[in-house]
Amino acid sequence: MRIQRRNFLKGTAALAAGSVAMPALIGRSLAADKIKLGSILDTSGIFDAYGKPMDMAMQLAVSEINKGGGLLGREIETISYDTQSDMALYTQYGQQLARRDKVDVVHGGILSASREAIRPTLRKANTLYFYNVLYEGGVCDRNIAITGVTPAQQVEVLVPAAIKKWGPKIYILAADYNYGQITARWMQKYAQEAGGEAIAVDFFPLDVSDFGSTIAKIQTASPDIVVSALVGGAHLSFYRQWAAAGMNTKIPMASSTLAIGNEHKVLTPEEGNGIMVAFNYSPEIASPANKAFLEAWGGMYGDTSAIHEIAVSNYQGVHLWAEAVRRAGSIDRMAVIEAIEDGLSIDGPGGKVTMDAKTHHAVLDVHLMEINGQKLDVVERFEQRQPIDTQAVCDLSANPDDTTQYEIKI
């Protein structure tokens, strides 16, 4: 998802730990041969507001594991590449990690395009891959594990809640690429199932930043709610222009994307207050696991202000992989995959995270939230939501050689 650097808060934050059980290996000397974890992220360029906290989250998780005695008595070594927000570099670095660096696992990718740039390479090289980001669903591949929320976990909570609170007529705005187009269809489906109706759907290229005519169209259409799947720094202008036009006090809003990269902290409270969102994680979650996580983040990095949804997903993804290695008693790819498919679960900052064997997607708690004073206040918790969108098209137990990303028919 595209973010303009000058529109974002300076600096980054990292994810804190303490929420995942550590092996009882403290005090042992680690074996000389290290386990290699590869990371490919946009830690510079226009996506760095997503990538930097994800990178720090990965480093924090690895630090915790190593301090706890490593894995199988061996230290984890990270080999990280910065794609500089250039999709072509994902392909190059994916090949380097698999063929030259010979890593044991790769955690990386932000946009779906970045995932699809490296997924075939890693599968061909028999290198296990974790993609730890909210996305549109439908990837069916035994060599990948996906830990971010899908539309059936998130949008199915968000849209009915907004309709129940504010009314049945929704106006959808979405980014004009794979994620936005598919998510907009899920929004229409869940609106209809909740007794509502999408009265209009508008798509916008990622570089569009003038929404004056769109705001005029929305005023004319007079919906009960605006539902947004807008993405990135240019699209952030919509929320500012909406508030400047006084519309934020007239028509309420829900979003499937706002705040995943801390965009709500770039908006003023007046611009963001009252917008409804639904994600796996909020720093405001009142649980012992999250409290310990925030303390560990602060202890390592000092500032917790830039923690966001997909950084937490990356943190949880690294710990899920580590738990799979422990269960397997090996770093052998197939042994780890079989552990992933054997009821693998951890207690993460966002709640319990369980891998679904048939899809290799995470079963997650989803929190319905409202933005208030640049915070994500939890309104309601929905426990252990299944990725039923991907389950409808993917069964790796029956078809282990499937490598398709399905465009789910809605």
Give me the numbers of helices (H) and strands (E) for the chain, helices first please. Answer: 12, 14
Instruction: State whether 85 and 161 are in the same domain.
Output: no
Provide φ and ψ at 82, rounded to 5°.
-100, 120
Q: In whole angstroms, give the CA distance from residue 101 to residue 121.
A: 14
* pTM: predicted TM-score of the whole model, two decimal places: 0.89
Q: What is the mean pLDDT of the chain?
A: 91
Residue pLDDT, tens place only, 101-139: 999 999 999 988 899 999 999 999 999 999 999 999 999
Residue 210 located in a structural domain: yes
SS3 236: helix
Instruction: State whether 160 and 179 are in the same domain.
Output: yes
CB burial of residue 24 (10 Å; 0-12, 13-18, 19+):
exposed
Instruction: State whether 10 and 77 are in the same domain.
Output: yes
SS3 280: coil
Instruction: Give percent of the chain above pLDDT 70.
Output: 92
Point out the least confidently predicted range of 109-113, 190-194, 330-334. Answer: 109-113
The candidate with the shortest Cα–Cα distance to 306, out of 262, 274, 246, 372, is 262
The candidate with the shortest Cα–Cα distance to 282, out of 184, 178, 186, 376, is 376
The amino acid sitting at 400 is P
Report the C-alpha dihedral over residues 301, 307, 309, 310, rounded to 10 degrees.
-40
Instruction: State whether 361 and 319 are in the same domain.
Output: yes
How distant, in Å, are the alpha carbons of 2, 299, 386, 407 from that of 358?
Answer: 31, 38, 11, 17
Residue 146 is predicted with a pLDDT of 98
Give the other-Cβ count within 10 Å of 384's Cβ: 14
Total domains, the chain:
2
Q: In whole angstroms, give the CA distance from residue 69 to residue 254.
A: 44
Residue 170 in contact with residue 188, Cβ under 8 Å?
A: no
Instruction: State whether 234 and 91 are in the same domain.
Output: no
Residue 179 in contact with residue 139, Cβ under 8 Å?
A: no
For the chain, the residue count is: 410
Q: What's the number of CA atoms in the CB half-sphere (13 Å) around residue 88? A: 0
Residue 8 is predicted with a pLDDT of 35
Instruction: State whether 13 and 134 are in the same domain.
Output: yes
**In this model, does residue 370 exceed pLDDT 60?**
yes
Mean pLDDT to the nearest integer, 312-322: 98
User: DSSP readout, 201-222?
Assistant: EEEE-TT----HHHHHHHHHH-
Residue pLDDT, tens place only, 247-301: 999 999 999 999 998 999 999 999 999 999 999 999 999 899 999 999 999 999 9
Q: In whole angstroms, give the CA distance from residue 12 to residue 143.
A: 31
Residue 30 is predicted with a pLDDT of 64
Instruction: State whether 82 and 166 are in the same domain.
Output: no
Q: Tell me which of 261, 279, 297 is where a domain ends.
A: 279
Its domain, for residue 14, covers: 5-149+283-365+384-391
Residue 80 located in a structural domain: yes
Instruction: State whether 261 and 344 are in the same domain.
Output: no
Q: In whole angstroms, give the CA distance from residue 71 to residue 395.
A: 30
Residue 395 is predicted with a pLDDT of 97
Residue 408 located in a structural domain: no
Residue 142 located in a structural domain: yes
Residue 409 is predicted with a pLDDT of 75
Q: In whole angstroms, give the CA distance from residue 149 to residue 278.
A: 10
Residue 258 located in a structural domain: yes
Residue 334 in contact with residue 265, Cβ under 8 Å?
A: no
Mean pLDDT to the nearest integer, 308-337: 97
Residue 370 located in a structural domain: no
CATH assignment at residue 288? 3.40.50.2300
Residue 311 is predicted with a pLDDT of 96
Instruction: State whether 266 and 292 are in the same domain.
Output: no
Q: In whole angstroms, give the CA distance from residue 167 to residue 192.
A: 12
Residue pLDDT, tens place only, 13-29: 333 334 344 343 333 45
User: Tokens representing 402?
Assistant: 């499937």
Point out the least confidently predicted range of 25-39, 173-187, 247-261, 314-328. Answer: 25-39
The candidate with the shortest Cα–Cα distance to 390, out of 107, 145, 122, is 145
SS3 360: coil
Residue 214 located in a structural domain: yes
**In this model, does residue 144 exceed pLDDT 50?**
yes
Residue pLDDT, tens place only, 18-67: 434 434 333 345 666 999 999 999 999 888 889 999 999 999 999 999 99
Mean pLDDT to the nearest integer, 387-392: 96
Instruction: State whether 265 and 309 are in the same domain.
Output: no
Instruction: State whether 186 and 232 are in the same domain.
Output: yes
Residue 287 located in a structural domain: yes
Instruction: State whether 24 and 143 are in the same domain.
Output: yes
DSSP code at position 3: -
Mean pLDDT to the nearest integer, 310-315: 97
